[in-house]
Structure 1
Amino acid sequence: MILVKIGLRTIKTGIAVGITMMVSRLLGIDEPFFAMVAALIAIQPTVSDSWQAGINRMLGTFIGAIVGVIFIVITPKNFLMASLGLIILIHIMNRLKWNESINIASVVFIAVFLNYRDGYTSYALNRLFDTFIGISIALIVNYLIYPPTYDKKLMEETNHVLKDIWGNVVECFNLLLREEKTLDTLQRNTSEIEAEIDRVENLFKLHAKEGKMKIYDNSEFKEMEVRVKLSKEIYLHFQNLLGVMEKDIKGEVVNFIIEDLREIRSLLLKDTHDGGKGAEDNLHTAVDLIRQAKRRFKYNPDVNKFPSDEVIKLLVVIYNLEEILSKINFIKDL
């Protein structure tokens, strides 16, 4: 028998709805439907999203109840009034830019409007109270029971991006040293890294929402923000590097710094991007070497013998390699 993994959000939703039903009974709520639905909707991927869903639910319930009561007072149990009431309600919600609350407002309006018997005002107030109970329980459950955190996932994804770029940078050195003949592998890997960057951005959006709710320490949040920003910049530099490599660079021009390139590649191969003092020392040395190679190439008078576009291409390659390595180095020092 294959056991299917049940997500934490699924479990918390069930817990929140169950607790809401139990609390409703303790409070003497005869119809816990609205409270339970509110709890169901309010369990979201982040505590911040739960809070926002709760606000939307309360706004929709409040406006829907008010409009429902008004139209009952005008003419109860009238299909024309039901249609007109919904049209006006939706228009009000759109004007107030509460679009996320339109559906629940409409449901509450219908529920109140159909309750045309005596006591419709108390019915509307009870629905508002029910909603508040469900939302409150959902927020407590989402916050206290394994609150959704994205810092570890985000750290893993950014490390994965950097490791993949690292491997592709080594491939670029192989191409410059004429030990690789084609760019096929690099071009295939680029689309994979791009997908990884998209995942990082999506995770960071969720992480940022939790940051607003003070789920994380502010310094940790800022550090993660820097990691994500630098990871995206590193990827852009890699794209620039690949763009120049596709145009090829004459071997005679590369020969000016070929020994530097071999030494840098050797250091990069020693650094598996897994951390550690030795790896950090290798990377620091590699960054220093690439800067020295850039200065040596720029100020070598023999460079003027070659076409300017070839010289510029190699300078662009060196610049982007320097930026990639120095930014990875900065991330490692965080």
Structure 2
Amino acid sequence: MRLGARIFKTGLSVTLALYVAGWLDFQSPAFAALAAFFAVQPSVRKSLTLIWDQVQANVLSAILAVVFVLAFGQEPFVVGAVVLLIIAIHIQLKKEAIIPLAVVTAIIIMGSPTTDFMELAFNRFLLIMIGVFSAFAVNLVFLPPKHENQLYHKITDVNDDIIQWIRLLLHHEVDYRTLKEDLKKQRDQLNKIDETYLLYKDERGIFRKQEYATLRKVVLFRQMIRSTRQAHRILENLTMNDNLIHQLPEDMAQTLRLQLDDITNYHERILLKYAGKVKPHATEDYYEEVSSGKKVLMTGFLKTRNDSDFEETDWMTFLPVVAQVIEYCDDIEYLDRLVDRFYNYHTEDNEVFIKERSDY
């Protein structure tokens, strides 16, 4: 089992909160640790944007908890009513992310003994704030996330797998049971890529110059993901229409194979170009082949409509597949232009942080 950075940050935050609470001689330092656990965020930027919301939520929860205890006591239904009120307020304010911490704050404070309630409630509020700021400090200083590296390798891994299956399918060398299992795995991988992309999108840097540089890469990665998803859709459609591939006229089948071979090779080279593993102009020949191949593919497919061996219903069924291949070509060409622009403009700001898997 591999432990991620967030798990380590959570452990460090809890440890720091306990040490600080103990150093300040607070009783029940576990409350600080509990708050730290809930306050840890997956990215530095998210931590920066949520810290003020967390402080406000804790203050609001503390006020509601104290008011309700003084007015109605500490009966369970009172605690439940406060929890419902806190949840409703934060949903109304569209601050759902901090509801768990706000609820924990209220429960901890309302659980204070009635003797010297105000003093104990204030101490527990301070413990919670120690936990929140401990998590914030750890998130800001320790184990900065490597989402760019992770995202790139996740994209290339699933992309390589998809392309391999497309080639096998076109050459009729597929084990369909394994292919169906892999299609499901690929869907799961693509969903995880989307999650990593959202985390990376949040990591824009603290300074404006860093933010602009990261935003340019965010656009690039969004197109990488779109292109990979397009390849996956083609694989799914080719799988569903495999019987029609066998019925295609030989010239058309050959044209389809050549175009998909060219576009998948082009796709692979672009990803390598982004990582600096191939020369900047290494994709120019592929661009020409793919661009001219789109016209050949469409022209050839239109001719098959008049082929007596290929029924019109089959032609209509296979038309979306051809349209997707052309759309895939367009997506890859656009991705190539984005990579070229990335390296040709703002060169002093644009840095790529791609390392081998063993380095992260």
Tell me if both proteins adopt one fold, taking TM over 0.5 as the criterion. Answer: yes
Aligned to 2:226, which of 216, 220, 229? 229
CA deviation digits over 1:3-59, x for unaligned, max 9? x76543343333333333444455554553433332233223334565687667646
Look up the match of 2:184.
191
Equivalent residue runs for 1:309-320 within 5 Å: 309-320=313-324
CA separation in 1, counterparts of 2:49 and 2:243?
Answer: 48
Write the letter of the residue equivalent to 1:319: A
Q: Residue in 1 aligned with 2:252?
A: 257
TM-score by length of 1: 0.75
Change in Cα spacing, 1:88 to 1:146, as seen in structure 2 (3 Å) is same
1:220 Cα offset (Å):
1.6
Distance 1:290 1:185, change over 3 A: farther
One-letter code aligned to 1:123: L
Query: Amino acid of the residue matched to residue 215 of structure 2?
Result: N
- The worse-fitting range, judged by mean Cα deviation, of 18-27 and 192-201 is 18-27
1:116 aligns with: 115
**Distance (Å, rounded) in 2 between the aligned partners of 1:266 and 1:221:** 28
How far did 1:61 drift? 4.2
Alignment map for 1:7-86 (pairs within 5 Å): 7-24=4-21, 27=24, 29=26, 31-47=28-44, 50=47, 58=55, 61-70=58-67, 73-74=70-71, 81-86=74-79
1:194 alignment partner AA: R
Deviations 1:194-244 (A, max 9, x none): 222122122223333444978862212222222223322332233233322
Match of 1:327 among 328, 331, 334: 331
Kept after mapping to 2: 8 A contact 1:211/1:221: no
Equivalent pairs counted in the alignment come to 317
What is the CA–CA distance in structure 1 between the aligned matches of 2:293 and 2:134, rounded to whole Å?
A: 57
Name 2:106's counterpart in structure 1.
105
TM-score by structure 2 length?
0.71
Give the match for residue 355 of structure 2.
none
| Counterpart Cα distance in 2 of 1:273 and 1:42 | 40
Within-5 A mapping of 1:172-251: 172-175=169-172, 180=173, 183-184=176-177, 186-211=179-204, 217-251=214-248
Unmatched 5+ stretches in structure 1: none
Q: Percent identity?
A: 17
Q: CA deviation at 1:301?
A: 8.7
Give the SS at the match of 2:42.
Answer: coil
From the superposition, tell whether residues 48 and 256 of structure 1 become closer, same or farther in structure 2 (CA, over 3 Å). same
Matched residue SS, 2:268? coil
Superposition CA RMSD, Å: 3.8
Q: Distance in 1 between matches of 2:19 and 2:264?
A: 61
2:156 counterpart letter in structure 1: N
1:150/1:184 CA distance change after superposition, 3 Å:
same
Decide whether the 8 Å contact of 1:40 with 1:138 is kept in 2. yes
